[in-house]
Amino acid sequence: MNIPLVRDRIKKTGFYIPFTLYFLAFVVAAFLAWQSLHRNQLQPDTAYADIFNILLKVAFWFAVIIISIALVSVAVSFAFFLFARRKNKITFKIETDLKESELHQKQTVRLFIHPVLKPLFGFIKLRLLYDKNNFSQKFSLLEQSQRKFFSTTIQGTYHWPLPAIKEYHVEKAILYFEDVFQFFSIAVDMPASSHFFTHPTAIDTKDLNVKPRKTEDTSTRIEELRKVEGEFLNYKNFENNDDVRRIVWKIYAKNKELVVRIPEIIDPYASHVYLYASYFSNFNIDGNGAVEVPFLNYFKVYNWTIYQKLVKQGFEVRYIADQDLAKASMANEEQLVKYSIATSRWHTDKDLRTYVKPSDASIVVISSLSDATQVQELAERFADITFMFIKLSDSLKKQNVIDWVQWLFVQEGKNDLDMYKRQWAMSPLRTKILQNEKQLASILEKYQKPVLA
Sorted by where each begins, the domain ranges of the chain are: 17-197, 230-263, 270-446
- Which residues, 6+ apart, have CB-to-CB distance to 247 below 8 Å? 238, 258, 259, 260
Residue 229 confidence (pLDDT): 45
Please name which of 409, 440, 399, 277 lies closest in space to residue 345, comparing C-alpha atoms. 277
Give per-residue burial for 144-156: e unless 16+ CB within 10 Å, then b. Answer: eeeeeeeeeebeb
Strands 185-197 and 226-228: unpaired
Residue 243 confidence (pLDDT): 72
In this structure, what are the phi and psi dihedrals at residue 70, rounded to the nearest 5 degrees? -60, -45
Rounded Cα gap, residues 291 and 15, in angstroms: 31
Q: What is the dihedral of CA 57, 61, 66, 71, to 10 degrees?
A: 130
- Check if the beta carbon of residue 278 is closer than 8 Å to that of residue 370: yes
Residue 49 confidence (pLDDT): 73
| Rg of the Cα atoms in the chain | 32
Report the chain's terminal Cα–Cα distance, integer Å: 44
Residue 258 confidence (pLDDT): 81
Q: For residue 108, give the amino acid letter.
A: T
Residue 452 confidence (pLDDT): 59
- Which residues, 6+ apart, have CB-to-CB distance to 120 below 8 Å? 69, 70, 73, 179, 180
Rounded Cα gap, residues 420 and 431, in angstroms: 16
Give per-residue burial for 327-341: e unless 16+ CB within 10 Å, then b. Answer: eeeeeeeeebbbbbb
- Check if the beta carbon of residue 306 is closer than 8 Å to that of residue 363: yes
Please name which of 452, 451, 431, 429 lies closest in space to residue 441, comparing C-alpha atoms. 451
- Check if the beta carbon of residue 170 is closer than 8 Å to that of residue 128: yes
Residue 226 confidence (pLDDT): 47
pTM, to two decimals: 0.74
- What is the percent of the chain with per-residue pLDDT over 90, rounded to a whole number? 40
Beta-bridge partners for 442: none
DSSP state of 379: H
Rounded Cα gap, residues 8 and 276, in angstroms: 40
In order along its 453 residues, the chain shows pLDDT tens digits of: 567 677 778 888 889 999 999 999 999 999 998 888 777 665 666 777 778 788 888 989 999 999 999 999 999 999 999 999 999 999 998 887 767 666 656 688 889 999 999 998 999 999 999 988 889 999 998 876 665 667 889 988 998 888 788 989 999 999 999 999 999 999 999 988 888 888 888 887 777 777 676 555 444 444 444 444 444 346 677 777 777 777 788 777 877 788 777 655 444 445 678 999 999 999 999 989 899 999 999 999 999 999 999 888 888 899 999 998 766 666 688 889 999 999 999 999 999 999 999 888 889 999 999 999 999 999 888 888 889 999 999 888 754 434 444 444 444 444 567 788 888 888 999 999 999 999 999 998 887 766 555
Strands 361-367 and 386-390: parallel
- Check if the beta carbon of residue 188 is closer than 8 Å to that of residue 20: no
Q: What is the dihedral of CA 286, 288, 293, 296, to 10 degrees?
A: -60
Rounded Cα gap, residues 128 and 173, in angstroms: 4
- Check if the beta carbon of residue 342 is closer than 8 Å to that of residue 200: yes
- Which residues, 6+ apart, have CB-to-CB distance to 167 below 8 Å? 195, 196, 197, 326, 342, 343
